[in-house]
Amino acid sequence: MVKDKWNSFPVQGNRIVSFKEKLKLLKSKLKVWNREVFGNLHVEKRRILNELEELDNRDCIGGLEESERLNRMALTSRLVENDEKLESLLCQKARASWFKSGDSCTVRLEAKKLFEARFMATKDLGVRLDEVEFKTLTLRDKEGLVAGFTEKEVKDAVWQCEGSKSPGPYGFNFNFIRKSWDFVKA
């Protein structure tokens, strides 16, 4: 499904912009697919719990038949599966939220350090560079800074990253990019 959707999206502009736009479109398609395949996990959990409660009430009043006991076991199993999916979803949402907002304490501390270092007063404001030689880049090095990336360089960079990390706010991590490499690499 991912490959079919990916290939159906139009390619416009340079590759980076196209890649970003395709990820954005894919995210919206995956949300629709997720709803169609898995439904609303919270609604499903409430439905299962209501059925279990009804069976428990009937068990207290007069006992359950064997088929009802088997149904109760199946419902309990589905409840556990549903809870695992909900937990996974909550972890993904928490990671995405942290990625967007970051750790506010860390951000504040880094900003404080930056301003302290930037505006710290020193007694000696004179800078002397007597006979200091600065290294310069060769023409080849300069050209390398503005040259395009090769597919191998991009692949090597993706494979060196930790799989659960996401390179952008769309929630697609490096494991996704690796598994989809055959059609995403273009």
Structure tokens at 43: 């609604």
Query: For residues 96 and 104, is the Cβ–Cβ distance under 8 A?
Result: no
No. of helices (H) and no. of strands (E), the chain: 9, 0
Q: Tell whether the model's pLDDT for residue 83 goes beyond 70.
A: yes
Span between the terminal Cα atoms of the chain, in Å: 18
Cα separation, 77 vs 80, in Å, equals 5
Q: Report pTM.
A: 0.51
Domain extents in the chain: 2-136
**How confident is the model over 109-163, as pLDDT tens digits?**
777 887 777 677 666 656 667 778 888 899 999 998 898 888 999 999 999 988 8
Cα separation, 163 vs 151, in Å, equals 19
Range in 39-43, 55-59, 106-110, 174-178 with the lowest mean pLDDT: 106-110
